[in-house]
Amino acid sequence: MQDILRMTKENAESLINKKESDFFDKKSARISGHKVEKAAVAFANSDGGELVLGLEDRAMSSKDGEIWSGLESIEAYNGILQSLHSLNPSIDFRYNFISCDDYRGIVLQIFIEKSMEVAKCSDGKVYQRVGAQSLPISDPNKILALAFAKGAKSFESSGLDELPPEEIVDSTEIRDFCENLSPVQEPLAFCINEGLIDRRTFTPSCAAALLFADNPQAVLPRRCGVRVVFYDTKMDIPEREHLKVNKSFSGPMYKLLHNVSREVTGIMSNISIMTTNGLEKISYPPEAIWEVLVNALIHRDYSISDDVYVYIYQNRIEIRSPGKLPGIVNISNYLDVRYSRNPKIVRNLARYKNPPNKDLGEGLNTVFQKMKEWKLKEPMLLEEGNYVKVIISHTRLASAEELVLEYLENNLEIRNGVARDITGIHSENQMKEVFYRLRDKNLIERVPDRKGKAAAWRKVARTI
């Protein structure tokens, strides 16, 4: 029998007063099994969450002792737990029984994980968590879009009825590819064996077009391109006059990756930034840029009609890829969990003589490792709506104080604007606080008679 966790009155009050949200819901212990299914399925179809049973609605009473209204025994929750265990497809959840000496009854706390498939209630209905609500999804197209987003279904396997198979098997790309296989294979046989062309209808798949069509953009417009944009500024929201490059790239995926990589490298070679050694050409670990770019193309959701975007700024690179993180992958575990939304694309790219995805599953780990080796801050990975964005900043791993002192080893003085450039600090006042901390340690001093924008700091002269 599972133990009952004892909760202090303070923690119980915190649970009672916790606001319902995208990740938290609370219900009466008298709730029906179907309503529990509805809440749990909604969490599973979103990003997971916590469901607490045994807490009445605040509108029913203002007294915490009346809101906490659990059942008298663990066994009383058997029906509810059985309804969750009976769901098909199953959902991943764990639970605790909680009591508090100051309140009556046992409360059931359930933690639901994000599901790998589209979760459904026992009556077949689909729900998704939106804010503090569990909303139904009845439109088949929206349910299919949810399946694509989770990676339970992959758009790469969708058939392209309007595309003649000759567009794939007679392409320059697949001819060169098959000639380099060991043993050499005939393109049509290879495509059928790999599930890239249907063996009964000879209909090419989306994956076949993305990998081997000479012009995939013609059959998959705005689903297979990459846009490279360069803003000559550090601003978070650039102005129109900062736009210097805006180019679109398409083509079979292997060539597309290399063409985009060359463009990004070329742009960066012309950017100079302020460092502790003065003005220098910008540089990032080439492996880091490459791996993020590869991940953006091979793991994106191709059911979404949009391109991958590479935004280059003076002090950072942002790569935005359509689609949420697939399956059980989330912001907390993406370095530890392997999950491929497009396994056919991943598998066949790995068969190139010089595969772009050489170390399968290690791409983002390589990015973090290389940034650390170059003493640059680790990348940021964000989910923004229906997109995943990776930000690679050109910010040194050292503290702001260390960077200021390092700069003054090579320069007579430092001003606030220069210091912000080399430390990545945006606020002028925050930068002043760094100067004041170094001043209080008697490491730097104000340059005399310099005020306003001309104000500067220098190292304290040491007497022997």
Main-chain dihedrals φ then ψ at residue 9, nearest 5 degrees: -60, -40
Position 281 confidence tier, pLDDT thresholds 50, 70, 90: confident
Residue 276 has pLDDT above 80, yes or no: no
The Cα–Cα gap between 59 and 228 comes to 53
* pLDDT tens by residue, 93-145: 989 899 999 998 999 999 998 888 899 999 999 999 988 899 999 999 888 88
Determine the pLDDT at residue 399: 81
Residue 23 has pLDDT above 60, yes or no: yes
Residue 173 has pLDDT above 80, yes or no: yes
Position 378 confidence tier, pLDDT thresholds 50, 70, 90: confident
User: Which of 390, 399, 396, 410 is CA-nearest to residue 438?
Assistant: 399
* pLDDT tens by residue, 389-402: 999 988 777 788 98
Neighbouring CB atoms inside 10 A of 60's CB total: 11
Domain 4-136 falls under CATH 3.30.950.30: yes
Residue 345 has pLDDT above 80, yes or no: yes
Strand partners, 381: 390
Tokens 């801050």 locate to: 377
Residue 360 has pLDDT above 60, yes or no: no
The Cα–Cα gap between 28 and 431 comes to 51
Going from N- to C-terminal start, the domains of the chain cover 4-136, 155-214, 226-393, 400-459
The amino acid at 237: I
Position 362 confidence tier, pLDDT thresholds 50, 70, 90: low
pLDDT (mean) for 342-362: 82
Least confident of 160-164, 345-349, 351-355, 362-366: 362-366
DSSP-derived secondary structure for 263-326: HHHHHHTT-EEEETTEEEE----HHHHHHHHHHHHHSS-TTS---EEEEE-SSEEEEEEESPPP
Fold of the 226-393 domain? Heat Shock Protein 90 (3.30.565)
Give the contacts of 44 (CB within 8 A, at least 6 positions apart).
Answer: 91, 92, 112, 113, 114, 115, 119
User: Which of 174, 177, 262 is CA-nearest to residue 214?
Assistant: 174
- Burial, 127: exposed, middle or buried (Cβ in 10 Å; 0-12, 13-18, 19+)? buried
Residue 436 has pLDDT above 90, yes or no: yes
User: Which of 300, 347, 294, 344 is CA-nearest to residue 325?
Assistant: 300
* pLDDT tens by residue, 399-430: 889 889 989 988 999 999 999 888 888 889 99
Position 87 confidence tier, pLDDT thresholds 50, 70, 90: very high
- Burial, 219: exposed, middle or buried (Cβ in 10 Å; 0-12, 13-18, 19+)? middle
pLDDT (mean) for 71-86: 93
Position 455 confidence tier, pLDDT thresholds 50, 70, 90: very high
Give the architecture-level CATH label for domain 400-459. Answer: Orthogonal Bundle (1.10)
Determine the pLDDT at residue 361: 53
Least confident of 159-168, 239-248, 271-280: 271-280
Determine the pLDDT at residue 62: 63
Average pLDDT of the residues of the chain: 89
